[in-house]
Amino acid sequence: HAAKQRKLGSLVYSPELNASSAQTLSLLGELRRAVREGELRLFVQPKLAVGSGRIVGGEALVRWQHPQRGMVPPMQFIPFAEDTGFIHTLTLWVVEEAARIVAAWRTQGFEGRLSINLSTHDIAKPDLLDQLDARSAAAGVPPSALCLEITESAIMSDPQRAVQTLQALQARGYKLSIDDFGTGYSSYATLKTLPVHELKIDMSFVRAMEREPKDAMIVRSIVELGHNLGLSVVAEGVENATVLERLHAMGCDEAQGWHIGKPMPAAELDAWLQQRQTAATPG
């Protein structure tokens, strides 16, 4: 019994672990159980249109409500899921859940768009498009109500293939975003061929822009670059009003961050949106 406790106690995955080690197998078994028993939670962080002050949707962020460990953050199991191939099962769960959330929004008259994070492995999978279509169609949600976020590094691990996949997704109507922009290794040559509609500025720049002129200059340059390429630009990691004001002055289109709203369960977001709307309506 004590040995089992120890295994559960070391949930943090390290890549040095042998793929066939008892610990890896145990964690994989636990992840399978998590999906089967409904231990995964999809939180949503609201996304603000900076100009209008309206909430235009959100980003879906997965958590694992572990029976012993409490709420486990994604960075403690996503890399493991990627290395073991379990990420496909996880992504499909996220897509299904996300489509359900958007469908519920739409019945309430909220036409928000929900962003989903994809991994390198997801965009390398030939049936991704069909899987996405099946789930959005089942929920009665148009592809344009979903945005797929892909990091620069995921794109650059196989740019030619990524471009093909993204073109197919874009042709079907899905919106596409480059996540953590500015920290990867994408070239302007690749960027100009990507059918994305959004650049998401990495939060390391956004969080530092208040005290570091160079970070502020980088944010400003990405906004300009994005606009010159006809893209929408989002800043993530907006933690206070000063940063939001500066982003507004720079013409940044959208913002996400604790100052606007933390990631929360979808049901909580509904209440949060209503309260916000009530507060904004005089009388």
Residues in contact with ligand C2E by CB under 6 A are 45, 61-62, 73-75, 78, 94, 117, 119, 149, 179-180, 203, 236-239, 256-258, 263
Compute the distance between CA of residue 136 and CA of residue 119 in angstroms, rounded to an integer: 19
| 234 phi-psi bin (left φ>0, alpha ψ -120 to 50, beta other) | beta
Q: Is-contact 112 69, C-beta < 8 A?
A: no
The answer to the question of residue 254 lying near Mg ion (CB under 5 A) is no
Closest to Mg ion by CB, 134 or 264: 264
Q: Minimum CB separation from ligand C2E for residue 119, in Å?
A: 4
Alpha helix positions (H), the chain: 2-9, 22-36, 78-84, 87-107, 120-123, 128-139, 152-156, 159-172, 188-191, 203-208, 213-228, 241-250, 266-280
Q: Minimum CB separation from ligand C2E for residue 2, in Å?
A: 31
CA 133, chain centre distance (Å): 19
The answer to the question of residue 180 lying near Mg ion (CB under 5 A) is yes
Partner interacting with residue 257 (select from Mg ion, ligand C2E, none; CB below 5-8 Å by kind): ligand C2E
Q: Minimum CB separation from ligand C2E for residue 10, in Å?
A: 20
Closest among 273, 170, 226 to 234, alpha carbons compared: 226
Interface pick for Mg ion out of 30, 97, 179, 198 (rule CB under 5 A) = 179
Closest to ligand C2E by CB, 236 or 253: 236
**Strands 70-72, 264-265: pairing kind:** unpaired
Q: Which of the 8 DSSP states describes residue 75? A: G
In the complex, residue closest to ligand C2E by CB: 257
Q: Minimum CB separation from Mg ion for residue 173, in Å?
A: 20
Closest to ligand C2E by CB, 21 or 89: 89
Q: Minimum CB separation from ligand C2E for residue 19, in Å?
A: 20
Q: Which amino acid is at 263?
A: P
Closest to Mg ion by CB, 117 or 232: 117
Partner interacting with residue 62 (select from Mg ion, ligand C2E, none; CB below 5-8 Å by kind): ligand C2E
Q: Which of residues 115-154 bind Mg ion (CB under 5 A)?
A: 117, 149
Q: Minimum CB separation from ligand C2E for residue 66, in Å?
A: 15
Compute the distance between CA of residue 178 and CA of residue 153 in angstroms, rounded to an integer: 10
DSSP string for 106-132: HHTT---EEEEE--HHHHT-TTHHHHH
Partner interacting with residue 253 (select from ligand C2E, Mg ion, none; CB below 5-8 Å by kind): none
Q: Minimum CB separation from Mg ion for residue 204, in Å?
A: 9
Alpha helix positions (H), 10-86: 22-36, 78-84
Judged by CB under 5 A, which stretch of 82-90, 176-184, 212-220, 237-245 contacts Mg ion? 176-184
Closest to Mg ion by CB, 117 or 120: 117
Closest among 15, 131, 26 to 78, alpha carbons compared: 15
Point out which residues bind Mg ion (CB under 5 A).
Answer: 117, 149, 179-180
